[in-house]
């Protein structure tokens, strides 16, 4: 027993030492033109990659990439002199690589034509949307977060495990602090994972503070915007196989009100376009920094207000377009709701929900401000965790067009804090009446297969994992069919019986006795 504990203790010390030595504190640049703060993101499509990095001196931007069995290709990009970073790296670089091959692993390095110094070699894998993909999601991460090294360890052990990382606002606390040195340190700290896995961001309130606004616009790049990102385009969407991600700026409702109408118009058009053929991307997940619902004790927070600003602006749009999940941060806790609309729970389960499910993953900001929840904010709260020592990140994975799996994990040891299957057989706007499929999800797959091949009703049972479910559904369908045939054949007698009952009922009401 004691030897087992000793082994675990040695392992823990080893991992902690390795993480601190190799992940959180990368080797500092020794050459003024050595590329640093290297991170990648998606372009317009999952097959496009954007590479960004920084140097202290001016130089051109070149990325060289290859697959391992092909000759290296060199792509030139853009260089910007960022004067807003007086104490840090002032030259920012961006290269856009398009039309890469899904499922293929690429190796790359970056450099400038005027420098003899080249970065280390990094790699990334283009997601294959024909397979289930996993995404890591969290908000409110800075250098003081206690478990940054363990997050990196989780990603670095197998970079292909995650197709992307979404950091949903409040980055570095703050990017512009200490004359920009805080932003430099943070981007160097996440480089070991962000140089391998696309690091997608959306702005939080800290990114819209005067001292950090330009840092966010220059240091990151989004799929649908130029570079540096204009203030009127800090939002974007991304088709990722079964999932359509919509990344919005909730700060337009508080710190950037000039762009409210512009974003709302774009959002409604984007969601309407997805719903024109929901079968292409059945799952819609919206990411935004501030939540609509929360269980924090501080009643002054917008998500605690009956007349919430964000809820008033977004909830009807989400309901009308059938948004499956809304994932946010801002509140430094973890929370998951039941399907909720207008403060009312529409179901205490996640099977064919008729409203959006809300998730908050902001507990990585605990070291900056601990927010407590002593009780659920309403009956809509399915699970809330506000323990100060517990920093949590989320993972989402769509297995097919009907089953999506969510887990909330401790950053320190990956222990599962919360998990939920969301099962949706009828994707689309929640305000539309839905007629249930009598054959269920498996029957839907059978019909799809039946269109492609010459199959018959006999092989339907092979599409059901649960044979009892198959037998029940077929039995109900047979009895329904027999009942309909019976009704058609004896419709006159049935109608006459109804008339007789109605006549006798009227006689009873008038006090007349019905002869036996």
In DSSP notation, 375-422 reads S-SSTTEEEEE--TT--EEEEEEE-SSSEEEEEEEETTT--EEEEEEE
- Whether the model clears a pTM of 0.75, i.e. scores above it, the answer is yes
Which is it for strands 325-328 and 283-287: parallel, antiparallel or unpaired? parallel
Q: Which token pair is 268?
A: 């409604």
Give the closest residue to 42 by CA, choosing from 161, 138, 164, 141. 164
Residues 151 and 95 in one domain: no
Q: Put residue 379 in one of left, alpha, beta given phi > 0 → left and psi -120 to 50 → alpha.
A: alpha
Residue 396 CA: distances (Å) to CA of 17, 26, 359, 410, 416: 29, 29, 11, 15, 13
| Helix (H), strand (E) at residue 418 | strand 416-423
Q: Are residues 280 and 137 in the same domain?
A: yes
**Sheet-wide strand order for 403-410:** 199-202, 164-168, 134-138, 392-398, 403-410, 416-423
My answer on whether 167 and 219 are in the same domain is yes
CB 248 within 8 A of CB 262: no
CB 114: neighbour CB atoms within 10 A?
10
Same domain, 118 and 154: no
The residue with tokens 């600003």 is 309
- Same structural domain, 46 and 104: yes
Give every strand in the sheet of 73-76, ordered side by side: 73-76, 62-66, 105-111, 122-125
pLDDT at position 168 is 99
pLDDT in tens, the chain (516 residues): 455 555 555 544 444 444 444 444 555 555 667 899 999 999 999 999 999 999 999 999 999 999 987 789 999 999 999 998 888 889 999 999 999 999 999 999 999 988 778 999 999 999 999 999 999 999 999 999 999 999 999 999 999 999 999 999 999 999 999 999 999 999 999 999 999 999 999 999 999 999 999 999 999 999 988 999 999 999 999 999 999 999 999 999 999 999 999 999 999 999 999 999 999 999 999 999 999 999 999 999 999 999 999 999 999 999 999 999 999 999 999 999 999 999 999 999 999 999 999 999 999 998 888 888 888 999 999 999 987 779 999 999 999 999 999 999 999 999 999 999 999 999 999 988 655 555 555 555 555 555 545 455 455 555 444 555 556 666 777 777 787 887 778 777 777 777 677 666 655 555 554 444
Cβ proximity of 253 and 204 under 8 Å = no
How far is the C-alpha of 311 from the C-alpha of 340, rounded, in Å?
A: 11
Same-domain status, 314 and 346: yes
Element (H, E) at 94: strand 91-97
CATH number at residue 9: 3.60.21.10
| Phi, psi (deg, nearest 5) at residue 344 | -115, 135
Of 403, 436, 469, the residue that ends a domain is: 436
**Residue 312: φ, ψ to 5°:** -65, -35
DSSP string, 33-56: T--EEEEEEE-SSTT-EEEEEEES
Packing angle between helix 148-156 and helix 181-194, nearest 10 degrees?
Answer: 30
Residues 210 and 333 in one domain: yes
Residue appearing with tokens 């997050």? 151
The parent domain of residue 450 ranges over: 444-516
| 220 and 292 fall within a common domain | yes
Cα distance between residue 38 and residue 3, in whole Å: 42
CA distance 274 to 115: 46
Q: What is the pLDDT of residue 462?
A: 52
Q: Are residues 302 and 185 in the same domain?
A: yes
Domain count, the chain: 3
Whether 309 and 416 map to the same domain: the answer is yes
Please tell me whether residues 213 and 298 are part of one structural domain: yes
The residue among 100, 126, 152 that closes a domain is 126
């Amino acid at each position: 027993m004691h030897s087992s504990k000793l082994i675990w203790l040695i392992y823990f010390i080893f991992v902690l030492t390795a993480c601190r030595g190799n992940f959180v504190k990368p080797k500092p640049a020794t050459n003024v033109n050595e590329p640093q703060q290297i991170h990648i993101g998606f372009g317009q499509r999952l097959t496009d990659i954007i590479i960004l990095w920084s140097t202290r001196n001016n130089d051109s931007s070149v990325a060289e990439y290859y697959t391992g069995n092909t000759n290296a290709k060199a792509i030139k990009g853009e260089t910007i002199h960022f004067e807003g970073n007086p104490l840090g790296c002032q030259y920012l670089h961006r290269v856009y690589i398009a039309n890469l091959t899904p499922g293929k692993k690429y190796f790359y390095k970056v450099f400038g034509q005027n420098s003899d110094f080249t970065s280390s070699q990094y790699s990334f894998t283009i997601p294959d949307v024909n397979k289930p993909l996993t995404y890591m999601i969290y908000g409110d991460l800075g250098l003081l977060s206690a478990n940054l090294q363990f997050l990196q360890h989780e990603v670095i052990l197998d970079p292909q495990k995650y197709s992307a990382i979404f950091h949903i606002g409040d980055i570095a606390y703050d990017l512009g602090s200490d004359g920009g040195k805080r932003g430099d340190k943070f981007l160097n700290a996440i480089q070991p994972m962000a140089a391998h896995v696309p690091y997608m961001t959306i702005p939080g309130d800290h990114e819209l503070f005067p001292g950090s606004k330009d840092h966010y616009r220059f240091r990151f790049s989004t799929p649908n915007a130029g570079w540096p990102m204009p203030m009127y385009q800090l939002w974007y969407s991304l088709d990722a196989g079964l999932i359509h991600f919509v990344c919005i700026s909730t700060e337009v409702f508080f710190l950037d009100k000039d762009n409210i109408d512009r974003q709302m118009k774009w959002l409604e058009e984007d969601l309407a376009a997805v719903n024109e053929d929901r079968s292409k991307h059945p799952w819609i997940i919206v990411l935004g920094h501030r939540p609509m619902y929360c269980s924090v004790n501080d009643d002054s927070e917008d998500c605690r207000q009956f007349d919430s600003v964000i809820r008033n602006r977004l909830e009807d749009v989400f309901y009308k377009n059938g948004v499956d999940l809304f994932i946010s941060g801002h509140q430094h806790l973890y929370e998951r709701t039941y399907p909720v609309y207008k403060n009312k729970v529409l179901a205490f389960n996640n099977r064919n929900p008729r409203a959006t499910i809300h998730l908050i993953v902001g507990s990585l900001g605990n070291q900056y401000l601990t927010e407590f929840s002593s009780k659920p904010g309403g009956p809509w709260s399915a699970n809330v965790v506000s323990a100060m020592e517990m920093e949590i990140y989320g993972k989402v994975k769509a297995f097919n067009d009907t089953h999506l799996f969510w887990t909330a994990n401790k950053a320190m040891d990956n222990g599962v804090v919360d998990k939920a299957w969301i099962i949706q057989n009828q994707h689309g706007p929640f305000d539309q009446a839905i007629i249930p499929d009598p054959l269920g999800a498996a029957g839907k797959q059978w019909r799809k297969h039946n269109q492609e091949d010459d199959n018959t009703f006999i092989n339907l049972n092979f599409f059901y994992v649960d044979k009892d479910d198959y037998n029940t559904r077929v039995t109900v369908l047979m009895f329904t069919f027999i009942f309909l045939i019976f009704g058609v054949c004896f419709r006159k007698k049935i109608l006459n019986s109804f008339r007789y009952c109605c006549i006798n009922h009227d006689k009873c009401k008038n006090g007349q006795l019905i002869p036996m």
